[in-house]
Structures are given as C-alpha cells and as structure tokens.
Amino acid sequence: MALEVHIETKLADFALEVAFSGGDEPLGILGPSGAGKTMLLRCIAGLERPDRGRIVLGNRTLLDTERHVRIPARQRRVGLLFQNYALLPHRTVGENVGFGLNNLSRAERERHVRILLERAHASGLEQRFPREISGGEQQRVALARALAIEPEALLLDEPLSALDTHLRSQMEAQLQETFLGYLRPSLLVTHNIEEAYRLSKRLLVLSRGRVVAHGPRGEVFRRPPSKEVARLTGCKNFSRARMISNNLVEAIDWECQLRVEQTIPRPAAHVGIRAHLIDFAESSSGGKAEENVFPCWLVRSSETPFRITLYLRLNRPPDESGHYDLQAEVFKEKWERFRARPLPWHAKLPPESLFIMPE
C-alpha cells in the first residue's frame, strides 16, 4: 500500500510545503523543533486542514482540495500515536484500546483488546486506569489503541521522547516488532538521529516546512545533499572547500588537501566527515605516506559511558584560543590503545568517508 502526500499550508513563521510518497517501509521524519513535523502528521490524520493539496492512501483519496474532497479523521483509518499518549483518564485500559471498536459485540471487542494488549506486551492491564500504570505501559497501551482499528497507515509523533533510557530501549524493540508485522505505510517523527536510523528504512528531513532530503537512510547519511542536511543528521565536521581536480579538494578551514571518492559536484562549497569515521594511523613516517593522513594534537576531550569525543587541531599544536578543527568519536577500548602515544597523533580521513556538498 502506498501513501502519497502533497500539501501546502501557512504556519505562523513559514509555509509547510511537503511532497513525498512512501510504501510499506517505515519512514523516519527528522528535523529541528518547529520544522513542521507534527503538523504534517496532523494533516495526514485529518486533524488539521491544509490550505491546498492532495493525500492518497492506497486507492482512497483522503484529501483533494481542488476536487473538494476531505475525508473526516474518524473515517481515514489512520492510527496516530501521540507524544503524550492522549489516553482517556476516566476510562480503563481496555476501554481506551477498544474505544474505536463500537461495531463489534462486547465479547468480540474484549477478545480483540486482549489480543492487542498481548501483542503490545501489556497483558493483564485491561481493568486498570492510565494513572495506575507506568509511562512505558501507557505507551504500549497507546500503541495498541492506535493499531486497534487496523489502520491503513500508522503515524507516530515522538513516541519515545518521554521515556527514560531503559523504557526507551524496550519500547524501541516493541516498535521494531510492530513494523515487521505491519507492512503498511508508517511514519515516525523524531529529532533523535540514532532512533530514526534504527527504526526507519527511509528518511525524510524537514527544515522550516520544506523537504531538504528524502531517500534511503544510508544514502542520506553517506551523501547528504547540503550542509544543512548534514548538520540535521548529526555531522559535526565541515570545512569550506575548493575543487582542485576531479577527486581532489582543498579543505580551506582545515588547511589541507584531501582526496575524495565521491564525484565532486560543481561548484564544491563544503567538505564534511562524520566524527565516528575519523581514524588514527600508527604513524605517517617511514614507507609510503598514506592518503589523507595528517598530524594532529588533542585540544580537549569529553566522555560518555562508552565513547570519547576528541577535539583535534590539524597540522599544528593548539594555542591558547582552544580552537580545534575536527571532532573524532572513538569507543573507549580504542581510546585506551592509543591515548598514551606521544603527540602528534596522525588523523586519517578516509576518502570514502568524506562527502562534498555544493552551494
């Protein structure tokens, strides 16, 4: 089943103008706060009315402003999982999940609710109220409710943002399991880059209401079409670039020349590399010099439970300004292997890991 969306609507600070199509693979929607991500979901669900546009789900037209077609939200068969769950506080869990199943007999409805809660790993909560269950349980119940009407599309708005680390991991596994069996259009709005990558096969990146990237997740990360998209997908290292030849650029801010595997678009404006793709060579002395290997000095570092971020100065020792050229991220096991080496170290920027961005 396919979902086709082409809508335009005026928001407070900018116009939301979005066009894309999606199939049975989960689509992650990334972007900064206020980019229009939630509004996009609300328009698809029928909770907001765009100024112009067309939305088609399978063989049903949900919206066509030119033909004056607007299917009400309750008839769209779209499941929407809200960021704050939006469970009805005065109804039990069972009543919440079965809320849209009035066409079934009481016995059928109860059986259907029981099956849905089993699939959501929330069995036994039918008679409890939302206030009596944990945040993770509320999220599972909200997912069961969204799936209860057997929706033809599933829309999830920041579904993990309110959960702690442990519950987030559990719920992410639940969503992966749901997507494997759902096989219909599903859209996941998030600002968490790693979450989007793990849960989605394709990505759509929004900025101020416009699509700035759309495609397979690996391609969007490997070859972001612009510096803005690279930043929104977590890249931290950029330099202004000048093309020297077909596969050679000058990184102006890093004061070095780099060979790249990517065909260079004209004109080349910036070169970038993701922090975790920077490597460290044993040495640049002796034998044949390696490509894209430069002496570097550690300016400072920061630590997480599993990784170290290294702030590096290329080609010269750091000065009192604290200026650095690159951020490199390494797992602590690797850090322990080379941290005691005398400076300078030798940073390696693999040609296949560099990407070029045009104006």
pLDDT of residue 287: 43
- State whether 336 and 267 are in the same domain: yes
pLDDT tens digit sequence for 147-190: 888 899 999 998 887 777 877 888 888 889 889 989 999 999 99
9, 57, 61, 80, 281 from 72: Cα distances, Å: 18, 14, 11, 14, 61
**How many Å apart are CA 216 and CA 34, to the nearest integer?**
24
**How many Å apart are CA 190 and CA 188, to the nearest integer?**
6
Last residue of a domain, which of 204, 227, 250?
227
CB 44 within 8 A of CB 78: yes
The CATH number of the domain holding residue 88 is 3.40.50.300
- State whether 64 and 139 are in the same domain: yes
- State whether 200 and 242 are in the same domain: no
Residue 339, C-beta contacts closer than 8 angstroms, at least 6 positions apart: none
- State whether 195 and 110 are in the same domain: yes
Last residue of a domain, which of 207, 227, 247?
227
- State whether 213 and 340 are in the same domain: no
- State whether 121 and 210 are in the same domain: yes
Beginning with the edge strand found earlier in the chain, give each strand of the sheet holding 237-245 in spatial order.
Answer: 256-259, 248-251, 237-245, 268-273, 355-358
Mean pLDDT, all residues of the chain: 91
> Which of 42, 41, 133 is closest to 96 using CA atoms?
133
**How many Å apart are CA 32 and CA 18, to the nearest integer?**
16
- State whether 319 and 179 are in the same domain: no
Residue 292 exposed, middle or buried by CB count within 10 Å (0-12, 13-18, 19+): buried
- State whether 163 and 83 are in the same domain: yes
Count the domains in the chain: 2
Mean pLDDT of 315-336: 94
Residue 348, C-beta contacts closer than 8 angstroms, at least 6 positions apart: 278, 279, 280, 281, 290, 292, 293
pLDDT tens digit sequence for 263-304: 876 788 999 999 999 999 986 554 456 889 999 999 999 999
Q: Which residue in this structure is represented by tokens 């809660």?
A: 117
- State whether 196 and 294 are in the same domain: no
Last residue of a domain, which of 201, 227, 253?
227
CB 278 within 8 A of CB 328: yes
- Pick the residue with more confidence: 307 or 139? 307
- State whether 91 and 208 are in the same domain: yes
DSSP 8-state class, residue 13? S
Query: Dihedral of CA 100/103/106/111: which sign?
Result: negative
- State whether 214 and 244 are in the same domain: no
- State whether 59 and 196 are in the same domain: yes
pTM higher than the cut 0.85: yes
- What is the span of the domain harbouring residue 19? 3-227
